[in-house]
């Protein structure tokens, strides 16, 4: 086992898959000689050359189209968005081409492309650099979407995404790159469609993902001291949602709290609530509660920014309100 930062875990995954398969290549803004905006591709251009670690112009729609075209020909591109917010400029390519071409071609084309990069609410990055785009992309047919939360699952998910024949979006949180964890020395892959059971419990099911996993676990430490026994699921797969794992937990606890950094309106939690109400409503002993970010552009002011995001004290209060010991 060795201690690895999350950005290094992502780099290791990229390096290992590029070494095994010459059709895998990376493209994006500053991914080459600069090493990526968060150093995920550091030094890879020296190992693989400038054509396999390709610096692109600041033209997201253009290089996304180029990557999709490369995927159609049999290559396996990894597109890094310097900030995932910028990929809104490539939304047409992602939705109308990456998501659809396998189907509109009658299955003649595969689109094995990975789209990854930093997103989420950082620390005073401003509204344009603090967007939570998971709900934007979640509605697009044909995509797989995952959100990593630890160095371990970041590496395993990226390796699986590179090998997958479908377009995969991997959301990385800008505040988790310096998270450090021991990784095994052997090769491993993680499924792109399964939630992770982080903690078993019996009083309430807490579903979360990305950075909010860590806020939830801080809250859980306090809740255990107060006598509560929460079960925690890290969603990981945002499309498809692993609703089976959620329902299995719900059949044990009968109470559900969803914690996300996504906006409340049309967010990931909204979809989970709809599916639970459609199929497992009779398992609920209390209304589902969701803790989501405010439906406003993220303020630059630090105190206002903090007020838009969910913190552990709010999670503790929500559990106490739902669970009567």
Q: What is the DSSP track for 135-149?
A: HHHHTSTT-EEEE--
The one catalytic residue in 12, 17, 29, 60 is 60
Q: 38: buried, middle or exposed (CB in 10 Å: 19+, 13-18, 0-12)?
A: buried
The one catalytic residue in 45, 129, 203, 215 is 129
Question: In the annotation, is 134 catalytic?
Answer: no
Element (DSSP H or E) covering residue 63: helix 60-72
Using CA atoms, how far apart are residues 168 and 77, in angstroms rounded to an integer? 11
**DSSP SS3 for 49:** coil
| b/e code 282-299 from CB counts within 10 Å (16+ = b) | ebeeeebbbbbbeeeebb
Structure tokens of 130?
């603090």
178, HSE (Cβ side, Cα atoms, 13 Å): 2
Partners of 263 in the beta sheet?
293
Question: In the annotation, is 129 catalytic?
Answer: yes
Q: Which residues are known to be catalytic?
A: 60, 129
């Amino acid at each position: 086992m060795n201690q690895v930062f999350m950005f290094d875990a992502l780099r290791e995954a990229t390096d290992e898959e590029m070494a095994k398969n010459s059709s895998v290549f990376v493209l994006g803004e500053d991914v080459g000689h600069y090493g990526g905006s968060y150093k995920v591709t550091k030094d890879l251009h020296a190992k693989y050359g400038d054509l396999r670690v390709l610096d692109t112009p600041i033209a997201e729609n253009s290089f996304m189209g180029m990557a999709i075209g490369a995927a159609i020909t049999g290559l396996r591109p990894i597109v890094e968005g310097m900030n995932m917010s910028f990929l809104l400029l490539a939304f047409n390519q992602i939705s109308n081409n990456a998501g659809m071409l396998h189907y509109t071609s009658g299955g003649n084309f595969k689109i094995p492309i990975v789209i990854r990069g930093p997103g989420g609410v950082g620390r005073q990055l401003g509204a344009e650099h603090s967007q939570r785009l998971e709900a934007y992309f979640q509605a697009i047919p044909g995509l797989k979407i995952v959100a990593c939360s630890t160095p371990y699952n970041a590496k395993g998910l990226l390796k699986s995404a590179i090998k997958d024949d479908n377009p995969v979006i991997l959301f990385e949180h800008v505040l988790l790159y310096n998270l450090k964890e021991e990784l095994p020395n052997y090769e491993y892959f993680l499924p792109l469609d399964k939630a992770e059971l982080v903690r078993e419990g019996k009083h309430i099911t807490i579903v979360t993902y990305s950075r909010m996993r860590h806020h939830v676990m801080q809250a859980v430490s306090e809740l255990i001291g107060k006598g509560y026994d929460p079960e925690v699921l890290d969603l990981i797969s945002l499309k498809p949602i692993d609703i089976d794992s959620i329902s299995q937990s719900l059949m044990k606890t009968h109470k559900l709290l969803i914690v996300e950094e996504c906006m409340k309106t049309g967010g990931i939690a909204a979809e989970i609530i709809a599916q639970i109400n459609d199929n497992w409503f009779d398992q609920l002993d209390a209304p589902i509660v969701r803790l989501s970010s405010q439906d406003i552009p993220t303020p630059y002011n630090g105190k206002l920014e903090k007020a838009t995001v969910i913190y552990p004290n709010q999670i503790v209060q929500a559990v106490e309100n739902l669970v009567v010991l």
